[in-house]
Amino acid sequence: MQSSAGGGFTKQMARNIFYGGTLFFVLLFIGLVADSSSQIPKRSNQAALTPAVERGKTVWETRNCIGCHTLLGEGAYFAPELGNVYKRRGPEFIKAWIKAQPTNAPGRRQMPQFHLSDQQLDDLVEFLKWTNGINTENWPPNIEG
């Protein structure tokens, strides 16, 4: 290799660029992680967590709702997104819709009847209300999910 006086690229220069670049990107990564971690409490709606929300999440999980629906973009795309259903339809509509299943409407996919108690319906609605309160930066982009 040529010396640095002759305009060449030395091993020491390459090593310095490598270590400098590595240090820069490690510090950048740490900064991004710290910023993301500081944003979570502001966006997560954690202050609104209640026992009813936790029970509603249990209903959501035990009935495998995510097997058909998406929630905040996660899940199956077989049935509508439910991240904003509380804002779109309201609590009474949600309860009535679940109780009325299956609708047997021609040409529509059928949601099963889960035979939820009034308490389970209330808890599930509280979970969907809590989910609706998470700051998702306007996800889903379409109000209809």
Q: What is the pLDDT of residues 92-107, one digit of tens each?
A: 999 999 999 998 888 8
**24 has pLDDT over 80:** yes
**139 has pLDDT over 90:** no
Helix and strand counts by DSSP (H, E) for the chain = 5, 2
**42 has pLDDT over 90:** no
Given pLDDT bands bounded at 50, 70 and 90, which one contains residue 5? low
Supply angle C-alpha 74, 79, 81, rounded to 5: 45
Smallest Cα–Cα separation from 124: which of 32, 62, 70, 74? Answer: 62
Least confident of 17-31, 51-65, 98-112: 98-112
pTM: 0.77
Contact yes or no for 142/111 (Cβ under 8 A): no
Amino acid letter at 33? V
Give the residue, 102 or 141, on which the prediction is more confident. 102
**145 has pLDDT over 80:** no
Distance of CA 81 to the CA centre of its chain: 11
